[in-house]
Amino acid sequence: MKRYGILNSHISKVLADLGHTDTIVIADAGLPIPDGVKKIDLAVKAGNPSFKEIVNAVAEDMVIEKVMIASEIEEGNPNHAQYIKEKFKDQKIEQVSHEDFKQLTKQAKAVIRTGEITPYANCILQSGVFF
């Protein structure tokens, strides 16, 4: 049994397999997941687990060089927009339209679905390297 880091075997495997510039998505309960992209469904009930809980856990276990969010988050979910800016203040944060965001999810190695039920509570995390 692992002592540290993410215990969920599906998430742990995806993170271990990431290469430089590969991406994963942390999604709210409503984001459409493209056919052919691995879905890791953590949603238990509305709001559980939260977007922030999963972002925090993944960020502790992943080298992240860039974060992508929908530009609509600024108006549609200012609390989560502020959280992302603070959480990833040392990484590049790129904003794209929500429609472009959904297109980018097609290239992700996996989508981790949370129970979050607030608008635009989604991000794409691009893998970096630790060396």
Give me the CATH number covering residue 33: 3.40.1650.10
Res 2 pLDDT > 90: no
- Report if residue 112 sits inside a domain: yes
Range of the domain at 49: 9-127
Contact 69, 23 (CB under 8 A): no
The pLDDT of residue 69 = 98
Average pLDDT for residues 100-106, to the nearest whole number? 98
Within-domain flag for 21:
yes
pLDDT for residue 1 is more than 90:
no
Is 94 domain-assigned? yes
Mean pLDDT of 19-47: 98
Task: Give the per-residue pLDDT at 38.
Answer: 98
Whether 83 is in a domain gets the answer yes
Instruction: Give how many domains the chain has, as a whole number.
Output: 1
The answer as to whether 22 is a domain residue is yes
Which residues are annotated binding-site positions? Answer: 28, 98, 120-122
Tell me the catalytic residues: 20
Record the pTM.
Answer: 0.97
Binding-site positions for substrate: 28, 98, 120-122
